[in-house]
């Protein structure tokens, strides 16, 4: 811990009020939160405080112009009680990359890691060991300067909150390939984890849900001919024994699960092609039986297998595969994340034990 982190502990933990066997994702939060304010051109002394409401003026810019970015990461506990994170530096770099696109100041790396390590030590009991259990960590930055003028804020809050999570079973996932609405455009903010990207997806996703789909797989805004990503996941397609996924660009989020799976799959001798994926080739592969699997990849669900898709009113079912890549890769990745297997890639980060 740096001497510059101020810690105020909660008087009494809420942990005994929580049913850890029945957690709805992202609804219960731990005892503490990390908060750091930006004003007068610099980040001020960061603080850890009891989890609670943030007070802001109704004219704060985040409410009017959506100047807000966020991250999603997880911490895991092994059977010895040690706590790990998965490639946290990637999340740190990405929140600053997102922030830069939204004209926000970069956060300090040592504030981020000291804050996170201290927070995880304070709220360690909320991280349960065992398969599927984790602590979901949500860092976010919001524009807090008062005044309804459409210009970048000169004040911000960087906040980290944490929610205990269980394995995420989504059941059968059927998706709709977008052919009208778009998630992002060239030169836009699609690559950033900007809050507004998610708000903009809600309406078309609700329309798709009303028709019985769980998710929309977004296609490129210009032609709707290329498959890009889903709501909060990158997507992979297995055609025969080759895994295909779209390259990241300024419309697609550079997912940490995605890039890890590409490396993991390659290390297993799986042929991986990172290239634009045409809707037409996936439809054709589904028709001729060479499309074996489709799955989403992201921090929350790790891998979410997709059982069918619809494109322009035509529905296709995917086969149920024995030895599915999705099952195998998910197992390998989650074991590595939770320190239940070797980590030849150096992806695991051990959270140092800190007396707080
Ligand atoms: C739009 C979008 N794509 C992909 C992902 C997957 O990224 P990651 O694997 O880093 O969680 C996410 C989730 O963060 C996302 O919001």
Lowest-pLDDT range of 157-161, 164-168, 251-255: 164-168
Residue 17 CB neighbour total at 10 angstroms: 7
Q: What is the overall mean pLDDT for the chain?
A: 96
Q: How far, in Å, from the CA of 323 to the mean position of ligand 1?
A: 25
Q: What is the pLDDT of residues 175-231, one digit of tens each?
A: 999 999 999 999 999 999 999 999 999 999 999 999 999 999 999 999 999 999 998
Class of domain 6-167: alpha beta
pTM comes to: 0.97
Q: What is the pLDDT of residue 170?
A: 73
Residue with CA nearest ligand 1 atom 12: 232
Picking from 175, 47, 60, the residue whose alpha carbon sits closest to that of residue 111 is: 47
Q: Is residue 1 over pLDDT 60?
A: no
Q: What is the pLDDT of residues 338-352, one digit of tens each?
A: 999 999 999 999 999
CATH code 3.20.10.10 region(s) in the chain: 174-321
Q: How far, in Å, from the CA of 236 to the mean position of ligand 1?
A: 13
Mean pLDDT of 147-159: 97
Token pair, residue 271, equals 């042929």
Q: Is residue 306 over pLDDT 80?
A: yes
pLDDT grade, residue 169 (50/70/90)? confident
CATH code 3.30.470.10 region(s) in the chain: 6-167
Residue with CA nearest ligand 1 atom 13: 232
Return phi, psi of residue 60, to 5°: -55, 140
Q: What is the pLDDT of residue 4?
A: 86
Ligand 1, atom nearest to 91 Cα: 10
Picking from 268, 263, 329, the residue whose alpha carbon sits closest to that of residue 293 is: 329
Mean pLDDT of 277-286: 98
Superfamily of 174-321 according to CATH = D-amino Acid Aminotransferase, subunit A, domain 2 (3.20.10.10)
Strand partners, 75: 85, 135
Q: What is the pLDDT of residues 22-71, one digit of tens each?
A: 999 999 999 999 999 999 999 999 999 999 999 999 999 999 999 999 99
Between strands 32-39 and 42-43, the pairing is antiparallel
Binding site membership of 260 for ligand 1 (Cβ less than 6 Å): no
DSSP assignment string, 107-143: PPHHHHHHHHHHHHHHTGGGSPPSTT-EEEEEEEEEE
């Amino acid at each position: 811990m740096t001497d510059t982190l101020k810690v105020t502990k909660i008087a009494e933990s809420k942990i005994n009020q929580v049913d850890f066997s029945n957690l709805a994702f992202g609804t219960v939060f731990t005892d503490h939160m990390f908060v750091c304010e930006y004003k007068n051109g610099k980040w001020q002394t960061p603080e850890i405080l009891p989890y609670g409401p943030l007070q802001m003026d109704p004219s704060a810019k985040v409410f009017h112009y959506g100047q807000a970015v966020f991250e999603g990461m997880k911490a895991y506990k092994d059977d010895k009680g040690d706590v790990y994170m998965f490639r946290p530096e990637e999340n740190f770099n990405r929140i600053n990359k997102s922030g830069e696109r939204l004209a926000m100041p970069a956060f300090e790396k040592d504030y981020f890691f000291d804050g996170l390590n201290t927070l995880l030590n304070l709220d360690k009991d909320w991280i349960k060991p065992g398969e599927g259990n984790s602590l979901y960590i949500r860092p976010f930055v919001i524009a807090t300067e008062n005044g309804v003028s459409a210009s970048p804020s000169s004040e911000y809050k960087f906040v980290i909150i944490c929610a205990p999570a269980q394995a995420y079973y989504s059941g059968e996932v059927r998706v709709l390939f977008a052919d009208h609405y778009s998630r992002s455009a060239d030169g836009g903010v699609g690559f950033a984890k900007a809050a507004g990207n998610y708000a903009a997806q809600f309406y078309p996703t609700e329309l798709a849900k009303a028709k019985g789909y769980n998710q929309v797989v977004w296609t490129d805004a210009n032609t709707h001919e290329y498959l890009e990503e889903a709501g909060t996941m990158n997507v992979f397609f297995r055609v025969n024994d080759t895994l295909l996924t779209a390259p990241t660009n300024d419309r697609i989020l550079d997912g940490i699960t995605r890039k890890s799976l590409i490396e993991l799959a390659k290390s297993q001798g799986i042929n991986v092609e990172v290239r634009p994926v045409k809707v037409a080739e996936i439809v054709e592969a589904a028709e001729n039986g060479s499309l074996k699997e489709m799955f989403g990849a992201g921090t929350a669900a790790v891998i979410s297998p997709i059982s069918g898709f619809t494109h322009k009113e035509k529905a296709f079912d995917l086969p149920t595969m024995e030895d599915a890549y999705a099952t195998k890769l998910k197992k390998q990745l989650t074991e590595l994340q939770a320190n239940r297997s070797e980590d030849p890639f150096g992806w695991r980060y051990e959270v140092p034990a800190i007396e707080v």
